Chains A and B, each alone.
Chain A
C-alpha cells in the first residue's frame, strides 16, 4: 500500500512533440484510481511512466513521497498486469507466479505459501503445472493477476487487463477485480478505454484526452458534474445529449423551440449567446416532474432494450435521446410531450468546452 503522486508530468517520445502535457494527480493509500479516455490519449504512457517502463520527460512522480523518476522498475515495488497477459510462455503457471519472488530470493516455502494463496483466491490452484498455452484467455488473465498479487507490491498497475476478453468474461472478471481490491486494500492504478469499467471499479477516475487531464474525481462527480464537454460526451451510455444552442433572454433556442434555463445557469453564461447545451437521457421524462419544462417533440426512432426503451426525439432543430419505460409505444413520426429536468441541465462554453454550470448548482 502506498500513495502515488504525479506532479506536472510531461512525456515526449521524439523530443519534439509532447504526448502528455503536464499532468498532476495524487493517489492515496489503498485507492482504486482509473485512467480512462479514448485510445491514444496517453493512458498507457502515463501508467508506464509510473511503472518505470518509460522515461519521464518532465515533472516528477513520487511513490510514498519518494521521487522515483530515476528508479529502476524493479526497485519501485510495483506490479503490472498487461493487456496481452505477458505470461512467460515456457514456464508453468506456478513458475510464472514464483518468478518475481525467486528473483527476490524469497524462501521457497514462503513462495509456495503465497502462490497457493493467490491461486486459490483466483481459482487456478488446480492447474498450476500447466503452461499458459493450455489456458483460456480468462484463465491467463487470472494468472497474470496472480503473478502481481504474490509480489505484494506497493502499487498494482493494470493496463486494459480485460480488453482481450469477451463481453461476458469481462463482466465477471471486473467483479473479481473489484472484490480483490476490497480484500487486499491495495493501491491500484487501472487503465481502460471503457467508461463502464471505469465507473464500476474506481474510487476516483481521471479522464484523459489528448494527453491532458480533463477531470479527476469520484465516478459520481464525473457523471453528475462533468467538467468539460469531452467528459460529458464520454460517460454514460448512451452519453449525455449535447447540442449547440443560441441563448437569449434566459432561453435556450433550438430552432422553433425554446427552453427556459434555470436562473442559476443563466447567470453563469455571463452574456454568452452561443453555448453547448447538455442533458442526460435519464433526465428527460414523459411526465411532468418537479421543476421540469415541457416541450413538444416528435418521435424519431425507438430502441427497445428490454428493461427500458431508448427514444430519440426531435425537438426544434435538435435530437434528444431519452430513457423511457419499456412500454413506450408511440410510433415514429408521432408527437409526444417530453419534460426536461431543469436541475439537470448543463451548459458548456462552445469554444473551450469547459462546463459553465448545472441547473441545480449555485456554486
Chain B
C-alpha cells in the first residue's frame, strides 16, 4: 500500500505527540528536581533548569528523620531479596504444579493462588498485618520480603514455560535414569534460564515500586523503601517541592534504566500471560 506523503507525516506527527505526552511527566520531574521550589512554583513550564546542581541531595539527606541512604539500602535489599526468593519459590512451585497437574491437592493449591490474586491487594494487606502479627514477622525484613515474593505475572510466566516445554525431553531423562531432582536441576532449569531471567527482572521492577505492603508490615521508617518515603513526604503538601521531585527521580531512575536495558524481555514477559488469549 502506498500512502500520500502528508498522511505519513501526519501519522508520525501523531505518534510523536503521543510519545511526548507519555514522556513529559518524566521530563518535568527530572527538570524540576534540579530547580529550587520557588522557581518551579512560579514557572512550572520551563524546559531547562536554571542551573544544574546536586544541592537538593543535601535537602533530602534525611527524610522524615531517617537518613536517605537507609531508604536506598532498604529498597535495594528488599527488592533484591524478594526477587531472589520469589523467583526460586515460584519456579519450583509452578514446576511441581505443572508436572503433577492431576493431583487434587495441587489443583486446590493452584485454585487458592488464583483466588488470592483476584483479591483486592490493598485490602489483603490488612489481614496480612494480623497474620504477620501472629507469626511475629511484623517490622521485620523477612516479613516484607516473603510477602512481596509471589506475584501473578511471574507465576504465569513459569507455568506457561513448563507447560510448553517438551514433555518428551523430561521423559527421556527419566528413562536415562535421572531422579526428579536431577531432571529439575540437570535438564529443566538450564532450559528455563531465559524465563528465570525474565521473571527475575520483572519481579525486581514490580517489587521496587511496592509501597503499601512495606508500609503496613513496617513498624518504623527503619524498614521503609524509597516509594514509602516518597509517599510519606509527598503528603506534606508543597513543603519541599524540589525534594519531592528529587526523591521521585531517585525512585524512578533505577527501574527506568533497568527497563531500558532489558526492555524486549520485560515487555514480552509482562504481556506473555495475556497474549494469544
Contact = CB atoms under 8 A, between A and B. Distances in A.
B2 to A, nearest CB: 40
B171 to A, nearest CB: 5
Contacts of A51: 171, 175
B117 interface: no
Contact of A88 (B174, B175, B177, B187): B187
Interface string B162-197: 000010110111111111001000110011000000
Interface residues of B, number: 17
Interface string A81-120: 0111011111000000001100110000000000000000
B168 A82 contact: yes
Nearest to A88: B187
Contact of B175 (A78, A84, A87, A89): A78
A83 B176 CA distance: 16
- Interface of chain A, main secondary structure: loop
Given A90-B190, A104-B177, A80 B169 contact: no
A158 to B, nearest CB: 12
A90 B182 CA distance: 15
Interface in A44-76: 51-53, 73-74
Contacts of B175: 51-53, 73-74, 78-80, 100
Contacts of A11: none
Contact of A53 (B169, B171, B176): B171
Contact of B169 (A73, A78, A79, A87): A87
Interface residues of A, number: 22
A63 B175 CA distance: 15
Nearest to B178: A103
A133 to B, nearest CB: 12
Nearest to B168: A86
A213 interface: no
A120 B176 CA distance: 21
A89 B191 contact: yes
Given A99-B176, A100-B176, A86 B191 contact: no
A269 B112 CA distance: 65
B214 to A, nearest CB: 38
Contacts of B182: 103
Contacts of B178: 74, 99, 103
A43 interface: no
B171 A88 contact: no
Contacts of B173: 88, 99
B195 to A, nearest CB: 14
Contacts of B187: 88
A280 interface: no
A216 to B, nearest CB: 25
A142 interface: no
Contacts of A84: 166, 168
Given A80-B171, A80-B172, A103-B182, A86 B177 contact: no
A53 B174 contact: yes
Nearest to A79: B175
B191 A100 contact: no
A104 to B, nearest CB: 6
A344 interface: no
Given A90-B190, A90-B191, A151 B169 contact: no
A346 interface: no
A82 B182 CA distance: 20
Interface in B115-145: none
B217 to A, nearest CB: 40
A147 interface: yes
Interface in B142-168: 166, 168
B67 to A, nearest CB: 46
A86 B166 contact: yes
Contacts of A99: 173, 176, 178, 186
Contact of B174 (A73, A89, A90): A73
Nearest to B171: A53
A151 B169 CA distance: 17
A151 B176 contact: yes
B174 A86 contact: no
B52 to A, nearest CB: 49
Interface string A284-320: 0000000000000000000000000000000000000
A286 B178 CA distance: 62
Contacts of B179: 74
Given A79-B175, A147-B172, 12 more contacts: A53-B175, A73-B174, A80-B172, A84-B166, A84-B168, A86-B166, A86-B169, A86-B171, A88-B187, A89-B191, A99-B186, A104-B177
The 3 closest A-B pairs by CB, nearest first: A100-B176, A86-B168, A86-B172
Interface of A: 51-53, 73-74, 78-80, 82-84, 86-90, 99-100, 103-104, 147, 151
12 contacts: A52-B175, A53-B174, A53-B175, A73-B174, A80-B171, A87-B169, A87-B172, A88-B173, A99-B173, A99-B186, A103-B176, A147-B176
